[in-house]
């Protein structure tokens, strides 16, 4: 069977989310690098055939093409022999999906703030950072409550896809001038996540901590 191909850019937070998911799930990917910055290869005609939205990541496997990060995460988890990253309980599955959509829609402010700061993407940096800070505060409030309830992760007491979806925005927040001082519950959660087998970093997230 062929490996799934991930069209990837190493500095993109969504692409990292998928490399992290695949590594923790123990799923091998064929990684094909697209030079989006400074090359703009995501706008090349051949790439637009794969993903007319003109962005990374894209996943291609046996004729299937997926463009949304949450959908690709779910697909990678389905290929994994380890089924623990998607909870069996429907209630927990719903909570997991809720946070994955939050990661894609609401944390888009964090991705955009970072892209504006680092990758020359036009945008109102201070406004995006202010919104992203609000989103991290929502995550901090949730993990503060989870601690009282005796749960180490966003949905359960074990890692689910939700944690892997939310981790990059927090871990990379210093790239867009948000320090970790005011987020003790997220610091604790991030330290826990780093101990999970298969955890990997990306540029901007130190190996040592």
Binding footprint of other proteins on the chain (CB under 8 A): 141, 144-145, 148-149, 174, 179-182, 184-185, 187-188, 191, 206, 208-209
In the complex, least distance from residue 35 CB atom to other proteins, rounded to whole angstroms: 28
CA dihedral (85, 76, 54, 176) positive or negative = positive
**CB-wise, 91 or 149, nearer to other proteins?**
149
- Among candidate residues 9, 15, 13, 20, the one with its CA nearest the CA of residue 194: 20
**CB-wise, 88 or 179, nearer to other proteins?**
179
Query: Which residues fall within 8 angstroms of residue 133, CB to CB, at 6 or more apart?
Result: 178
**CB-wise, 35 or 192, nearer to other proteins?**
192
Q: End-to-end alpha-carbon separation of the chain, Å? A: 38
In the complex, least distance from residue 182 CB atom to other proteins, rounded to whole angstroms: 4
Quick one: how many helices (H) and strands (E) in the chain?
8, 4
**CB-wise, 67 or 180, nearer to other proteins?**
180
DSSP lists the bridge partners of residue 141 as: none
In the complex, least distance from residue 170 CB atom to other proteins, rounded to whole angstroms: 14
Strands 30-33 and 58-61: unpaired
**CB-wise, 46 or 207, nearer to other proteins?**
207
In the complex, least distance from residue 33 CB atom to other proteins, rounded to whole angstroms: 26
In the complex, least distance from residue 180 CB atom to other proteins, rounded to whole angstroms: 7
Strands 58-61 and 64-66: antiparallel
CA angle, 126 as apex, 182 and 43 as ends, to 5°? 115
* Structural element, H or E, at residue 37: none
């Amino acid at each position: 069977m062929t490996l799934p191909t991930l069209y990837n850019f190493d500095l993109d937070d969504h692409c990292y989310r998928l490399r992290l998911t695949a590594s923790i799930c123990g799923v091998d990917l064929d990684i094909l690098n697209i030079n989006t910055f400074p090359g703009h290869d995501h706008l090349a005609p051949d790439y637009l055939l794969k993903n007319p939205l003109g962005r990374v990541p894209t996943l291609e496997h046996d004729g299937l093409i997926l463009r949304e990060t949450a959908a690709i995460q779910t697909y990678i988890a389905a290929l994994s022999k380890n089924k623990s990253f998607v909870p069996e309980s429907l209630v927990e599955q719903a909570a997991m999906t809720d946070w994955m959509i939050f990661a894609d829609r609401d944390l888009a402010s964090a991705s955009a703030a970072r892209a504006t700061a680092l990758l020359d993407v036009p945008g109102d940096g201070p406004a995006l950072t202010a919104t992203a800070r609000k989103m991290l505060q929502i995550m901090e409030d949730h993990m503060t409550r989870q601690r009282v309830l005796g749960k180490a992760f966003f949905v359960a007491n074990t890692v689910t896809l939700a944690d892997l979806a939310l981790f990059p925005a927090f871990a990379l927040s210093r790239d867009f001038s948000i320090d970790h001082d005011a987020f003790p519950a997220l610091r604790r959660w991030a330290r826990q996540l780093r101990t999970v087998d298969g955890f990997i970093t990306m540029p901007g997230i130190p190996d040592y901590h």
